A = this chain, B = another copy of it.
Amino acid sequence: MSIHKNITRILLSTVLLFNLSCYSQQMPKGEVVEFGLGIAEDATPALVSRILKANEKPISEIKFEKGTYHFYPDKGFEKFCYISNHGDLMVNTPFPIFNIENLTIDGQGSTFIFHGVMIPFLIDESKNISIKNVSIDWYQSFHSEGLIVANDEVNKTFDMQISDEYPYDIRNGELFFIKEYYQHTIGQSILFDPKRKAISFDTESYTNITTKSKSTTTNNLDNIKYKYEYDKRDVGYKNIGIENRVTVKELKPGLLRVYGHTKKMLPVGHILSMKGEQGLNRVSPAFSVKHTNGFNALNVNVHHAGGMGIIAENSANLILDNFNVTPSQGRMVSTTADATHFVGCRGKVVLKNCTFENQLDDASNIHGTYQKIVDVLDEYRIGVRMGHHQQKAFVIGQPNDNLGFVRLSNSFFAYQKATIKSIEYINNRYQIITLNEKLPADVLPGDLVENLDGYPNLLVQNCTIRNNRARGLLISNPVNTVIENNFFSTEMEAILIPVESGHWYESGNAANVVIRDNTFQDCQHGGKDRGVIRFDTDDDNKNIAFKNIEIVDNTFNQFDNLILEVTNLDGLVFKGNTITNTETFPRLHPQNPAFKVKRSKNIKFQNNIYKGKVKNEAVLETDETMSNLKFK
């Protein structure tokens, strides 16, 4: 008669334990709650029911009998989630970990299969949360894959075969893939080479599919005025005056012909991964961790997610050990966005013994957030605007954090500091920050603020990063970063160290970065003309952005010439590295040097072994600021 009664009966005995860990003095008594396979058909309601009672009836551990569990959103616990670098949405979770301390979730080798838009682990305002011994997957993926079976360079079409796994419809020539509780268009796309199970060599010549073009007809759009700055890239605006360029026709069920693509026609035998429109296509990260001190993931496999493997914000002390993002079920793609991503995190951030492969964005991205001062309200208060639509609602810090005031035209570093007294949340684009000290006398609307305390001690160790779209590591961290003994084979930069302000509003000019004992194998094979390791500022700005960098004892086995690009950097030691040219792919940019250095100082090359194809002094290209620099 009752679903819940059955579930309750099936639950294994619940054992009350005194927690005997080394923290036993601080830790509350908590139950060890064990779930058996009786709930496997939809484990969501049983988990929600028990976890929502955790405040009155604490839990120290949730254990699962080893097996496969399904999770549906229909009876999941709902929360509106603003998640950095994802879409913002009302979403359901089976694990509503809010205001919980000292909880371990042990899958004991189980696989959790999710259905539709949901966030498996939603962790907020918590402390010492551990997840271990579990694999996470989705029944239907948030992306779709098509095998290229023919192309026609004369008529500019290509054909793809869509397997039964990916139901679709075509509406006025536009292709939609339909899933349980979700749908997407072609949108963002990239090629995979099934022989290598990696991003196709030179995919940039073929993808993205050029799905959009300008509308031919608009009328009086200039009559629409906005009183305040607005974000033309946000979902509500970016489609104005834009229409579909590409049309799709079904030749027979499952076989589609694509017209209107303006790059090279796609090569037969490769697989096109399609994940829908930017702004709509990141709805289900596997882990969302916010305002949490102490998060451990051990022996966790994330086979898929409609977004990132883990996105952590405003949290501290996060350790991922043998946390692997890797595809399943014959799919080319694992997660549809970054494997891991850390915004405004502090304390320790550790990635060790992990594999990050086949995801559709970086293996990791570590940064803070710039917010723009739009109102100087009085001597202590500023109104700030969130610049990027994927940072909506981000709260920049907590009381007594050091806020830096930045004017990028003058310097990438803060011109003054002050501490936060309180933050009043008005809406997702506007907050009012009150300071303990007076504002800088010369503060101006347009200046940025960043949280100088919101960066971590970062360690990336013994990880394998390969076969994914985009970068390996994207580091904007002025504290300390050690990247050692990893393997990289990425389609763009293995390591990108940027400062930028105007687009992503991701803060953090990197300093104290050690990159040692890594192997870089044929990176940048997607086709972009960039280095394997690249320092970059997006402004034509001569100020120093990066300080105190060591790149030591690494091996670069690279099919193309360019190894390292340096700009706006003060203090680099590049020492003991070995560089070879492989024959894995043809060189795409044979005119390049191996090293490009500009607008920098205190750069040293020492004891490196260069066995690449660039001859003699062409190995190093510098601008006038470093004209005496030599490669050694």
Contacts and interface: CB of A to CB of B under 8 A. Distances in A.
A25 interface: no
Contacts of A52: 424
Interface residues of A, number: 77
A240 B169 contact: yes
A257 B215 CA distance: 17
A48 B425 CA distance: 11
A169 B5 contact: no
A631 interface: no
A428 B240 CA distance: 31
Contacts of A602: none
Interface string A179-197: 1111100000000000000
A92 B171 contact: no
A80 B78 contact: no
A239 interface: yes
B216 A74 contact: no
A72 B169 contact: no
A167 B76 contact: no
Interface string A1-43: 1111100000000000000000000000000000000000010
Interface string A229-273: 010000010011111100001100110000000000000000000
A378 B80 contact: no
Number of copies: 2
Contacts of A241: 169
B240 A183 contact: yes
A383 interface: yes
A427 interface: yes
Interface of A: 1-5, 42, 48, 52, 72-78, 80, 88, 90, 92, 115, 140, 162, 164, 166-174, 176, 178-183, 215-221, 223-228, 230, 236, 239-244, 249-250, 253-254, 375-378, 381, 383, 424-430
Give the top 7 A-B pairs by smallest Cβ distance, nearest first: A78-B427, A167-B220, A171-B243, A170-B217, A4-B377, A169-B218, A74-B228
6 contacts: A3-B377, A4-B383, A74-B230, A92-B427, A164-B223, A178-B224
